[in-house]
Amino acid sequence: MEALSITILGGDLRQCYAAEYLQSKGFRVTCWHTPEFPYHPGIVQADSLAHALRRSDTILAPTPLSKDGNNLFQAKADCPPCPLDRLWEELEAEHTFAVSNLPKKQRQVLESRKCHILTFGSLPFFQKENARLTAEGLLAEVIRCTPFALSSANILLLGYGCCGMSIGRMFLPLCRGIYLIEQDPLKENAAKKDGVCPIHKNDYSKILPQCQILINTIPASVLGMTHLSQMDSSCHIFDIASAPFGFPADTTEKCLLPYYRIPGIPGRFSPVTAGRIIGQTIERTTEHGL
């Protein structure tokens, strides 16, 4: 049986460890514009995008696909930018494009080129494992950045999806209590079972001043500056959502509260494990007819 082939594009060290994992499982792996790395001798480093794409039927895009919306995310500073339009032009109908998340506009482009799309970020296995790594990395960052003990703090958590749930379950035994803002009744009920306390707008004036840490997981504005003005003066805000984030970049200047925008935590704190999880996800979906 012929070995499965995959080309890995751009990104950070997660791509490199995904490459090593897949190569160890028998894949023929080609990399293009990935970071410097002690690659296994069996991994090919292509000298051009066209060469890289010709070698494989499956293409693994970086996470995130792009940071500016126009160019492929590449951590290597010495690499010339790769416009997404150029990448789309090189893809063929027989390619499977594997990506964590794909904006609607880009999905329409790929569909017009008849490419198969695998958005593995929506798969339960990946979501669960990635959320766990996110919670671990956030815990390290919260401890590093806050001048008070976590055991003395109340937390206000925005959102109880996969990441919010992992954060709630990991942080709850370590802090005084966790309050939650979540509109989905099913997620609210799940939070209650975990010991997290959902609140509503009529609770804000009482609860917000009691919280020393605010964690946002929702890529949308849930609380405005008026709400932040009610927070404890020592409150630290951690925004782990993807763009457009939960708060503006100048939140610290506007509300005089420390604001940390830290998306992509698994790639920063656990690139080895995060890369292997991506590799395992690709392996599992391929085994079931990617």
Query: At residue 40, does pLDDT exceed 90?
Result: no
pLDDT category at 36 given cuts 50, 70, 90 is: confident
Q: Would 286 be classed as within a structural domain?
A: no
Same domain as 189, residue 78: no
Q: Is residue 27 part of a domain?
A: yes
Tell me if 245 is assigned to some domain: yes
Say yes or no: 135 and 113 in one domain.
no
Reported as a pLDDT band with limits 50, 70 and 90, residue 159 is very high
Residue 276, in any domain of the structure: no
> Looking at 65, 95, 122, which one is the last position of a domain?
122
134 contacts 265 by C-beta, under 8 angstroms: yes
Across the beta sheet with 58-60, the strand order is 44-45, 28-32, 5-9, 58-60, 96-99, 116-119
Is 118 in the same domain as 163?
no
Residues 55 and 146 in one domain: no
9 lies in the same domain as 84: yes
Cβ contact 170:139 at 8 Å: yes
Same domain, 90 and 193: no
Q: What CATH number should be reported for the domain holding residue 211?
A: 3.40.50.720
Mean pLDDT score, 37-59? 90
Is there a single domain that holds both residue 111 and residue 80?
Answer: yes
80 vs 144, higher pLDDT: 144
User: What 3-state DSSP class applies to 99?
Assistant: strand
pLDDT at 98 over 60: yes
As a whole number of Å, the end-to-end CA separation of the chain is 16
- State whether 145 and 252 are in the same domain: yes
Q: Pick from 122, 148, 181: which residue ends a domain? A: 122
Is residue 11, in this structure, part of any structural domain at all? yes
CA 222/CA 199 separation, integer angstroms: 13
Report the number of distinct structural domains present in the chain. Answer: 2
DSSP conformation letters of 208-243: GGG-SEEEE--SS--S-HHHHTTS-TT-EEEE-PPT
According to the model, what pLDDT value does residue 76 have? 81
Lowest mean pLDDT among 39-43, 54-58, 119-123: 39-43
Distance CA 105, CA 206 (A): 42
3 state SS of 7: strand
In this prediction the pTM is 0.90
How do residues 231-280 score in pLDDT, each as one tens digit? 999 999 999 998 899 999 999 999 999 999 998 899 999 999 999 999 99
Q: Which domain holds residue 59?
A: 5-122
CB of 56 closer than 8 Å to CB of 30: yes
Q: Is the pLDDT of residue 288 over 60?
A: no
Please report the pLDDT score of residue 85 as a whole number: 93
Given a cut of 70, whether residue 2 has pLDDT beyond it is: no
Residue 1 has pLDDT above 50, yes or no: no
Mark whether 161 and 254 lie in a shared domain: yes
